[in-house]
Structure 1
Amino acid sequence: MKETQQMTLETLSGPRARLLELSQKRGVSLSALSDLLGRNPSYLQQFIRKGSPRKLEEQDRATLARFFGVGEEELRDVKDNSYTAPIKPRESGEWVDVPRLDLGASAGPGRVAGDEAAFDTFRFSRRWLAEQGLERAQLSAITVEGDSMEPLLNNGDEILVDCSPRAFRDGIHVVRLGDTLMVKRVASMGAGRLALLSQNLAYPPVEVAAEEVAIIGRVVWKGGRI
């Protein structure tokens, strides 16, 4: 049995290999870990053996990381292109360079996230950031795509997203639903439900379970052509 497990570890890589290694060291079964996540007993078995799902959801990774006492990044695929955390702004004297990421957050039906790569920066004065209460914010800039948030956010606007860890409160957020990155007004519905709301009344609200949505960050500023 140990030889079979060892061979399995050798044929795996990335978060699948790491998760199997951690489960074996702790002596806990994959079905028990699946139960910890509130999933069906074969969930993690299928993730490791069959690659389905393709990646662990953010909340599942966080739960497992806390259980094993490891960093969440150990269970994240380095090839995962979904928006996960901002590139750290570069500070120089009185100025802070905030990265502009090669990503678009859909304000329409949704789009699949692309490469999280900084291609440029916005430069903000440290004093201005402090005046906005953003002196310690984890900021990055991405582009709005679509018209569902008009007139508040227009297609082509660039928005600053603060990914600093904080308790959720209703507001305009960039969220990930499955593999789709979008910007919506997010409101708590109670009983573990969230509403994803558009400003454009042509788009109906979408109600989802809170665990289905990853809150990437709060939108704190916008810029665009007049």
Structure 2
Amino acid sequence: MEYLPLSELPTLADRINHAMQQRGLTQQQLGEAAGTSQTTIQKLCSGKTKETKKLNAIAKALQVSANWLATGEIPELGAEESTTGSKVHLEPLHPWDDGTPLDDDEVEIPLYKEVELAAGGGRTAVREVAGRKLRFSRATMRAAGVNPAQAVCATVSGNSMEPLIMNGATIGLDRGTTHIVDGEIYALEHDGMLRVKFLYRLPGGGVRLRSFNREEHLDEDYSFQQQQDQHIRILGRVFWWSTVRPLKSAPLI
């Protein structure tokens, strides 16, 4: 790869176009290699988009320095690791907020949580949190087999699924998959409570709820009639979860 100075390639668009020409890649090929869309690459190549959270992935696909791609600063000879080497490369996080425009390959997923009903005598229900959304790449949704229009996120509480899914974790669930596949994890509403469990089918339309933490939480079996009486409703299959772990958290083991 021939790195040219900033004076010859002053913009991000110039550097991407130069590297693509050097590698013999089309916009479509670069998009596929970087896990983004051809439209995103086209906007970057034309200069319409000045920055992207996909910078590191694009640099990796082009086999160039991410710093050079971003700033035009030519790396020192031997400073870059071979792309075939075994060294682990840690890429920086790209923070965003509600005002950050969506990339072409991103979608926003609404967030739900368990809330106490007004004048409900302590009763709760699972409701959407107004204005709160999480972002996922379309590639992630495709890999999970989830239609973004059917996806929601939710926050969970309790230790019944620890240490697999920690207390306070955020989960992603597919509302398009509510039929039970034995041993899969589902989110369900149980008389207003948000619960996350392994589910198993039982004869006669019954269902078994199983926790990962089986030492503290025993299996729960419900007949079809009990499900109706206790308002047990499957919200969707859990396809993703994530936990922010504070520095002073209790040890996992």
What TM-score, normalized by structure 2, do the two folds share?
0.46
Show the 5 A alignment for 1:74-85: none
Q: 1:136 to 1:120 in 2, by over 3 A?
A: closer
The number of equivalent residue pairs is: 130
- The equivalences for 1:112-151 within 5 A come to 112-136=124-148, 138-151=150-163
Displacement of 1:103 in angstroms is 3.3
- In structure 2, the residue corresponding to 1:191 is in which secondary structure? helix
Deviation at 1:131, TM superposition (A): 2.2
Residue 191 of structure 2: aligned partner: 178
Q: Which residue of 1 aligns with 2:50?
A: none
Amino acid at match of 1:158: T
Deviations 1:18-45 (A, max 9, x none): xxxxxxxxxxxxxxxxxxxxxxxxxxxx
Identity %: 30
Aligned pairs (5 A) from 1:53-72: none
Higher relative contact order (CA 8 A, sep 6+): 1
**1:159–1:221 contact (8 Å) kept in structure 2:** yes
Deviation at 1:178, TM superposition (A): 2.6
Q: CA deviation at 1:165?
A: 4.9
Q: Distance in 1 between matches of 2:235 and 2:197?
A: 11
Match of 1:156 among 158, 162, 168: 168
With over 3 angstroms needed to count, the CA separation of the structure-2 counterparts of 1:152 and 1:225, relative to structure 1, is: same
> Which residue of structure 1 lines up, in the alignment, with residue 45 of structure 2?
none
Shift of 1:207: 0.5
Note if 1:204 corresponds to 2:218: yes
Q: Quote the offset at 1:221 in angstroms.
A: 0.2
Are the equivalent residues in 2 in contact too, given 1:95–1:123 (CA < 8 A)?
A: yes
RMSD: 2.3
**Which whole-Å CA distance do the structure 1 matches of 2:178 and 2:186 have between them?**
13
Match for residue 220 of structure 1 among 239, 242, 250: 239
Equivalent runs, 1:82-101 vs 2, <5 Å: 93-101=104-112
Q: Distance in 1 between matches of 2:172 and 2:126?
A: 18
Inter-partner Cα distance in structure 1 for 2:224 and 2:239 = 22
Whether the 8 Å contact between 1:137 and 1:162 is mirrored in structure 2 is no
TM-score (norm. length: structure 1): 0.51
Structure 2 unmatched runs, 5+: 1-101, 116-122, 246-253
Q: Which moved more, 1:116-125 or 1:195-204?
A: 116-125
Instruction: Pick from 200, 207, 216 the counterpart of residue 187 of structure 1.
Output: 200
Q: What residue is the counterpart of 2:64 in the other structure?
A: none
Structure 2 Cα separation of the partners of residues 97 and 136 of structure 1: 8
- Could you list the structure 1 runs, at least 4 aligned residues long, displaced by more than 3 angstroms after superposition: none
In terms of mean alpha carbon deviation, does 157-166 or 135-144 score higher? 135-144
Distance 2:203 2:140 in 1: 36
Contact (CA 8 Å) 1:175, 1:215: kept in 2 or not?
yes
- Structure 1 pair 123–179 and aligned structure 2 pair: CA distance change class (3 A): closer
What aligned pairs does 1:31-50 form with structure 2 within 5 A after superposition?
A: none
Find the residue that maps to 2:128 and give its secondary structure: coil
